[in-house]
Amino acid sequence: MTETDDPAQSAPNRWYWTAPYVAVVIFALSMLTLVGLLQTRELEGQRNAVARDVQWAEQTMRLHMQGTEEFLGQLARDLSAEMIDADGFQLRANQHIANNGELVNVVWVGEDGTVRWSAPFDTTDWLAGDALSAAQSAVFLDAREGVRATYGQVYTTARGLTVLEVYVPIRHGRDFRGAIVGVYSIDRVVRHLVPGWFAEKYRLALQTADGETLAVNSTLKELDESVAFELPLDPPGNGLILRATAFRTGGQLPQALPIVLIVGLSVLVLWSLWLLRTHVLRRVQVEKERDRLFNLSLDMLCVVGLDGSFRRCNPAFERILGHPPRDLPGKPMLDLVHRDDVAATLEQLRSLASGQPVKFENRCLCADGSYKWLVWSINPVRAEKLVYAVAHDITGRKAAEEALRAESAFRKAMEDSVITGLRAIDLSGRIIYVNSA
């Protein structure tokens, strides 16, 4: 069974490669959760802010309307006491209209339901002697039965102006003498009753209970519908709703941008990890093949440092010289060289400084004390500051050469000792050898 086939080894390896992916996914999910929580918290803060601002705007409108109710009530009391004439009515009504831009008309309607006086004097919607419409008459009757201001329903005039009317009854003792009517422009209500900073941040809309928009303070900017708040307008308490929606600011980043960036970066990291994993696995495979060749080689392979000591040796060292490869790293290479070959070996090793490979023969010490002839091929790699060497056992060849030389010397000695002349002739009749005799 190989190392990769062993389940005990493959499971940790799988976790080793899976752990970075799991870590990236967990990190991405954590960041998405954090961004979501921060965005939710920010959105809640914005909603709370718009809720406070809308409540403040509603209170401001209510105070303005209450102020107008008090003015109309005082005007009604003065008319009841006959303390004011038509000119005084015009003066005071026009002055109040000028100071309250949301008002368009102030009208005195007599007890018979016809217009007596109206301001401004040049208005065409309320002319002296005109009778109230059916809808206006219904509100007028409600005011007649009550003692407080009564608001009518929003409607659109013949001139296309959307208005809201408030009726304040005029009483002299128990006698009903008509009503003072204040006419609000719905468009001016949302534009004039809130300060400028509010209009810069929010679009304020006045809507009916059915969601129909009657008037808005601005339509020029893009809205952020996720930041909105609405509440009833009281007074008048007849189903009108104030709704404020925040504007989108020009420099505001889309809420989805952080999520897109996190997901995109996570995918990029996962893709990079996959490429790295593929590269590492390919390199590991190449190193395994290299190590297999290194370990199975019949020749002696080794890596030597620039200091001349072994860094790594293959098993052939033990098979040829008897030295276990695990014992050689750190030992000088020259410790194995025969003392008669040290000088020549040093000379060859010094020539490696030029960067050129060298090839030479020497005798190396075996573990049993004997020596074997080796032919070395050494190649330096300057970038790695290492020397790669291959040694082939030529002891057998050296022994054969020595035996051949000995045999040749013996035969020559024998031939030279013979006193009889000897000669050798080939098949063509040429003399190819003669002895000294």
Of 242-246, 340-344, 355-359, 421-425, the poorest mean pLDDT is in 421-425
Residues 422 and 365 in one domain: no
Q: What is the mean pLDDT of residues 102-109?
A: 95
Residue type, 46: Q
> For all residues of the chain together, what is the average pLDDT?
87
Whether the CB-CB separation of 387 and 377 falls below 8 Å is answered with no
| Segment 56-70, tens digit of pLDDT | 989 988 999 999 999
Residues 128 and 232 in one domain: yes
In a domain, 8, yes or no: no
Question: What residue numbers bound the domain in which 87 lies?
Answer: 24-252
In a domain, 296, yes or no: no
Residues 350 and 427 in one domain: no
What is the spatial distance between Cα 146 and Cα 79, in angstroms, rounded to a whole number?
Answer: 18
Residues 339 and 201 in one domain: no
The structure tokens 């007074």 sit at: 235
Q: Of 252, 280, 300, which marks where a domain is finished?
A: 252
In a domain, 271, yes or no: no
Number of domains in the chain: 3
Residues 42 and 146 in one domain: yes
Residues 232 and 335 in one domain: no
- DSSP assignment of 107-120 equals EEE-TTSBEEEEES
CATH number, domain containing residue 224:
3.30.450.350
In a domain, 147, yes or no: yes
pLDDT of 186 over the 90 cut: yes
Residues 406 and 389 in one domain: no
Residue 48, by phi and psi: left (phi above 0), alpha (psi -120 to 50) or beta?
alpha
Residues 52 and 138 in one domain: yes
In a domain, 381, yes or no: yes
In a domain, 285, yes or no: no
Residues 377 and 318 in one domain: yes
Whether the CB-CB separation of 229 and 243 falls below 8 Å is answered with yes
| Segment 296-326, tens digit of pLDDT | 899 999 999 988 899 999 999 999 999 999 9
What was the pLDDT predicted at 401? 85
In a domain, 28, yes or no: yes
Confidence of residue 8 (pLDDT cuts 50, 70, 90): very low
The SS3 call for residue 58 is helix
| Segment 36-88, tens digit of pLDDT | 898 889 889 989 999 999 999 899 889 999 999 999 999 999 999 999 999 99
What was the pLDDT predicted at 122? 83
In a domain, 90, yes or no: yes
Whether the CB-CB separation of 354 and 264 falls below 8 Å is answered with no
The SS3 call for residue 244 is strand
Residues 76 and 91 in one domain: yes
| Segment 126-144, tens digit of pLDDT | 988 999 999 899 999 999 9
Residues 84 and 49 in one domain: yes
Of 114-123, 177-186, 249-258, 383-392, the poorest mean pLDDT is in 249-258
Residues 315 and 343 in one domain: yes
- DSSP assignment of 208-226 equals -TT--EEEES--SS-EEEE
**Measured between alpha carbons, how far apart are the two ends of the chain, in Å?**
74
Q: Of 252, 270, 286, which marks where a domain is finished?
A: 252
| Segment 237-286, tens digit of pLDDT | 778 999 999 987 755 566 778 888 888 888 998 899 899 888 888 998 89
What was the pLDDT predicted at 433? 65
